[in-house]
Amino acid sequence: MGAGLGLAASCDIRLSSDRAKFGTAFANVGLGGDFGTTWQLTRLLGESKAKELFFLTDIIDAAEAHRIGLVNRLLPEADFMADVRAIASRIAHGPMISYRWMKENINQSSHADFRTMLDKEAVSHLRCGQTEDHKEGVAAFMEKRAANFTGR
C-alpha cells in the first residue's frame, strides 16, 4: 500500500503473492497521491478504476488485483520467493538487446501512432537480427535446445 504500490506500479512486470493486499490511502489523510501512483495507475488500469482506488481507498485482494491488471501473476505465498527468483533468472538469461528494444517499443506505443510503431519495429527487428543473440536463438530453435544468450 502507499509508496509500495507506487513502486510496484513502476515495474515492468508485477508478481504478487496470492495473499497480498493492495490499496491507496491518500484520501484518508487528505493527500493527492505520490511516488507517481496517479500516473502509473491511470496507465495500468484506466482513469475510472484509478479514480475508484484513489477516491474510495478500498483494499483489494490479490485475486482482484490480478483480475484488473494491477499484477501480472499471482504466486503461492509459500513458494513466492523461489518462484520470483526463477522468473527473474529466466529474464536475466534472456536476450537483453531484444528486451531493450521490446521495452522501448512498448513504452513508445502508448503515445505514437500505428504507422510510427510499424517503422520503429522494423528498425528494431533489423538491429536485433544483426546480434549474436539472434543467431544463437535461431540455432537453438533449429537444434531444439535452450538458447544461451550473451547480450551481444
Gap between the Cα atoms of 135 and 126, Å rounded: 13
Are residues 29 and 84 both part of a single domain?
yes
Q: Domain range for residue 68?
A: 3-90
Structural contact between residues 70 and 49, judged by C-beta atoms closer than 8 angstroms: no
The CATH number for 72's domain is: 3.90.226.10
Query: Strand pairing of 73-75 and 15-17?
Result: parallel
Are residues 80 and 49 both part of a single domain?
yes
- Phi, psi at 75, each rounded to 5°: -120, 145
In a domain, 150, yes or no: no
Count of domains observed in the chain? 2
Are residues 109 and 128 both part of a single domain?
yes
In a domain, 69, yes or no: yes
Q: Is 60 exceeded by the pLDDT of residue 82?
A: yes
Structural contact between residues 25 and 1, judged by C-beta atoms closer than 8 angstroms: yes
In a domain, 147, yes or no: no
Are residues 20 and 86 both part of a single domain?
yes
Are residues 138 and 114 both part of a single domain?
yes
Q: Is 90 exceeded by the pLDDT of residue 5?
A: no
Per DSSP, the residues of 40-59 read HHHHHH-HHHHHHHHHH---
Count the neighbouring beta carbons within 10 Å of the beta carbon of residue 122. 10
pLDDT, tens digit, 9 for 90 and up, residues 41-77: 999 999 999 999 999 999 999 999 999 999 999 999 9
pLDDT grade, residue 3 (50/70/90)?
low
For the chain, helix (H) and strand (E) counts, in that order, are: 8, 4
Per-residue CA distances from 47 to 19, 40, 66, 91 (Å): 26, 10, 17, 31
